[in-house]
Amino acid sequence: MGESVELSKIAAAIEQDEPTTRGIISDMMTAYEKQNRGIRIIELDHSFQLCTKKEYYDYLIRIARQPKRYVLTDVMLETLSIIAYRQPVTKLEIEKIRGVKSDHAVNKLVEYGLVEEVGRMDAPGRPILFGTTEEFLRRFSVQSLDDLPSLAPEQIEHFKEEAEDEAKLKLDI
């Protein structure tokens, strides 16, 4: 279908319950892998999608002649990380964390389909709230946001200390 399909919709289409449907899909995933097929089924947040194996990407590009490999700069990756971990989040919140304007990075991430508007904040001006998309999950090979790596407590403490030191330096100047 070009996009993922929810388990409940697949179950309804094949007239099975969801546990049975999940089992059928799991069997298909295993069979495709054993047979070394060029396609695979991936799970994305309780939905499934049929897609080409990563190792065949270059061949598809040659066929399609329309490469869609986007370059994510450090600025875009930093912005994307903030959105992924803090969503839903406004541009102003992103800019407070980064310390610089983030319009270009957010706009590029929206253009690349990794970020989307997920609503509006109930505040003056009704700022846009941003969140990640299913394409983000697909590109970073995670089934859900729960699969994103978390920071170790000592890393968080180190970041807090750096921020406090930086704040002290700014106050001394």
What letter would DSSP give residue 24?
H
Residues of the chain above pLDDT 90, percent: 51
Residue 162 within any structural domain of the chain: yes
Final residue belonging to a domain, choices 40, 64, 88: 64
Question: What mean pLDDT is predicted for residues 138-153?
Answer: 84
Question: What mean pLDDT is predicted for residues 26-47?
Answer: 91
Whether the per-residue pLDDT at 173 is higher than 60: the answer is: no
Final residue belonging to a domain, choices 64, 84, 108: 64
Mean pLDDT of the chain: 87
Whether the per-residue pLDDT at 66 is higher than 90: the answer is: no
Residue 23 within any structural domain of the chain: yes
Question: Which residues, at least 6 apart from 69, have a Cβ–Cβ distance to it below 8 Å?
Answer: 61
Residue 69 within any structural domain of the chain: no
Question: What mean pLDDT is predicted for residues 98-105?
Answer: 90
Question: What mean pLDDT is predicted for residues 128-136?
Answer: 94
With cut-offs at 50, 70 and 90, classify the pLDDT of residue 75.
very high
> Is residue 11 located within the same domain as residue 83?
no
Question: What mean pLDDT is predicted for residues 81-87?
Answer: 92
- Number of structural domains (the chain) is 2
Residue 119 within any structural domain of the chain: yes
> Is residue 40 located within the same domain as residue 81?
no
CATH code for the domain in which residue 86 is found: 1.10.10.10
What letter would DSSP give residue 70?
P
> Is residue 60 located within the same domain as residue 81?
no
> Is residue 58 located within the same domain as residue 14?
yes
Whether the per-residue pLDDT at 73 is higher than 80: the answer is: yes
Question: What mean pLDDT is predicted for residues 114-118?
Answer: 95
> Is residue 85 located within the same domain as residue 168?
yes
- How many Å apart are CA 64 and CA 77, to the nearest integer? 27
Domain range for residue 35? 5-64
> Is residue 90 located within the same domain as residue 130?
yes
Q: What is the structure's pLDDT at 1?
A: 52
Under 8 Å between Cβ of 95 and 75 = no
| 51-61 tens-digit pLDDT | 888 888 888 77
Q: What is the structure's pLDDT at 148?
A: 86
> Is residue 91 located within the same domain as residue 143?
yes
